[in-house]
Amino acid sequence: MSEPGLESTVVLDSSFLTAYCAKEPGRFERATAEYSRYVHEGREFFAPAVAAAESLFALCRKRADGSLTEDQYVDAVQTLVLILSCTHTSPNGDLQLTERAEQIRAGYGCSRSADGIFIALCEELARHGRSEIATFDESMRLQAAKTAPAVAVNTLA
């Protein structure tokens, strides 16, 4: 993949990726509309490496609890691979985000650790131009507002 433009970016949260790939009722339509809008605007997509692991875990849980059939699960994983193939990782690698992510997580429980990586990535990208996080996680918006107020969070819920 060539070097991405950083002037107009979107960080795709795992909740967004899972909703889109699993075609979650009540969320898939909104995720599809936002993704299409971002493409139309010429936005570049980013996600930290943890997004793949978090999304695979969520999809596996959906298969295990019966929310997805085996065929739907296979399709969802294929869609995840496709969307991630069009998504950039952190321009400087996730390691450089770690310290800031922990600062963002401070005061929150351990379950918010990965969110700090997404917020730190968006914060880094925002230094180069317009950036926002696409998520269904309202708590991420609240966390960003408190710990990284310059980060724009598009909560789709």
Please give the pLDDT value at position 4.
64
Total domains in the chain come to 1
89-137, pLDDT tens digit by residue?
A: 998 888 889 888 888 787 777 777 788 999 999 999 999 999 999 999 9
Half-sphere exposure of 111 (CA within 13 A, CB side): 3
pLDDT tens-digit series, residues 22-45: 999 999 999 999 999 999 999 999
Most confident of 61-75, 84-98, 135-149: 61-75
In a domain, 138, yes or no: yes
Listed as own residue / partner, the contacts of 55-60 with beta carbons closer than 8 Å and 24 or more positions apart are 55/14, 55/17, 55/18, 55/21, 55/80, 56/80, 58/14, 58/18, 58/22, 59/18, 59/21, 59/22
Strands of the sheet containing 8-12, edge to edge, are: 44-46, 8-12, 130-135, 152-155
Q: Could you tell me the pLDDT band of residue 153, with boundaries at 50, 70 and 90? A: very high
Domain range enclosing 79: 8-155
- pTM of the predicted structure, to 2 decimals: 0.90
Residue 61 belongs to some domain of the structure: yes
48 C-beta neighbours (distance < 10 Å), count: 25
Residue 130 within any structural domain of the chain: yes
Position 56 in a domain: yes
